Amino acid sequence: MRLSTCLKRPKSDVALLLSLLLFSSLSSVTLARGDESEVASFNLQSYAPSKIIISYTYTNNFSVTDVSSIGQSLYTITSGPTSIEFKAEDVDQYTFTVEIKYGVTVTQSIQIAVFSSGYAPEGIQLNVKDNVRLKFTLTVTEETSYPSAQDVAEQVVLQVANQLSEFRTQTTEIVDTQTRNIEMQWLLVGFTMAVSVAFVIILVFWVYPHLRRLQRGPL
């Protein structure tokens, strides 16, 4: 078994990668025949972290070549006589080619499992009877996250609590304002009554006696 961890090695043909045609985790598979091998091209999409496992009949003549990614992303390749694993942790677009060869004609079903985040793997079965070359384009993206029912309920409760608190504050301010207005009105009423009483006292005890003296004339 061979284990290799590689960083992206930029290539001039990265800009010519195939456009993605999304279909669940698997987008497209194209079959053809080369000079000595059956050729299959895979255009795949998955969420990070992503992993592809290719399982095949025992052989020591296998290889993983032409590995590249658009960004400086870390990927891991683990290969052995019966399987090859390509693992990508980062959001990026990866390309690589797998070649599986035999000294004699071998009829088999190659199994390809695509793991996307925590979801169950998507499977592909490829029936071949010769050497095979598999070309992969894998686009890894972030999984779209949605709030859970509990998160939504907590947000609603928090919003209602904030609105109630705001309503309570506004109500308290209105009551305080009305209380101050009532107190001011009572002060005005008291002042008016005091002025009225004072006017009556002056009228009774000073103005009226003075007028009576004037009416009587000098003695």
Domain of 95, CATH number, reads: 2.60.60
Q: Are residues 88 and 133 in the same domain?
A: yes
Is the model more confident about 64 or about 21? Answer: 64
| pLDDT grade for 96, boundaries at 50, 70 and 90 | very high
Q: Are residues 56 and 135 in the same domain?
A: yes
Q: Which of 85, 108, 141 is the last residue of a domain?
A: 141
Q: Are residues 154 and 213 in the same domain?
A: yes
Task: For the chain, give the percent of residues with pLDDT over 70.
Answer: 80
Q: Which two tokens stand for residue 149?
A: 């029912």
Q: Are residues 56 and 128 in the same domain?
A: yes
Torsion, CA 200, CA 203, CA 204, CA 208, rounded to 10: -160
Is the model more confident about 53 or about 209? Answer: 53
- Tell whether the model's pLDDT for residue 76 goes beyond 50: yes
| pLDDT value for 46 | 94
Q: Are residues 34 and 117 in the same domain?
A: yes
Q: What is the mean pLDDT of residues 50-58?
A: 96
- Tell whether the model's pLDDT for residue 200 goes beyond 70: yes
132-179 residue pLDDT tens: 999 999 999 998 877 778 877 888 888 888 888 888 888 888 888 888
- Backbone torsion region of residue 66, taken as left when φ is above 0, otherwise alpha when ψ lies between -120 and 50, otherwise beta: left
| pLDDT value for 19 | 34
| pLDDT value for 194 | 83
| pLDDT value for 210 | 73
- Tell whether the model's pLDDT for residue 29 goes beyond 70: no
| pLDDT value for 15 | 33
The number of domains in the chain is 2
| pLDDT value for 219 | 52
Q: Which domain holds residue 80?
A: 2-141
Q: Are residues 115 and 136 in the same domain?
A: yes
Q: What is the mean pLDDT of residues 100-121?
A: 93
- Tell whether the model's pLDDT for residue 211 goes beyond 80: no
Q: What is the DSSP letter of 121?
A: P
Torsion, CA 57, CA 61, CA 62, CA 65, rounded to 10: -160
Q: Which of 123, 141, 159 is the last residue of a domain?
A: 141
Strands, E assignment, the chain: 2-7, 26-33, 37-47, 50-55, 61-69, 74-79, 83-88, 92-101, 108-116, 122-128, 131-141
Q: Which of 141, 160, 177 is the last residue of a domain?
A: 141
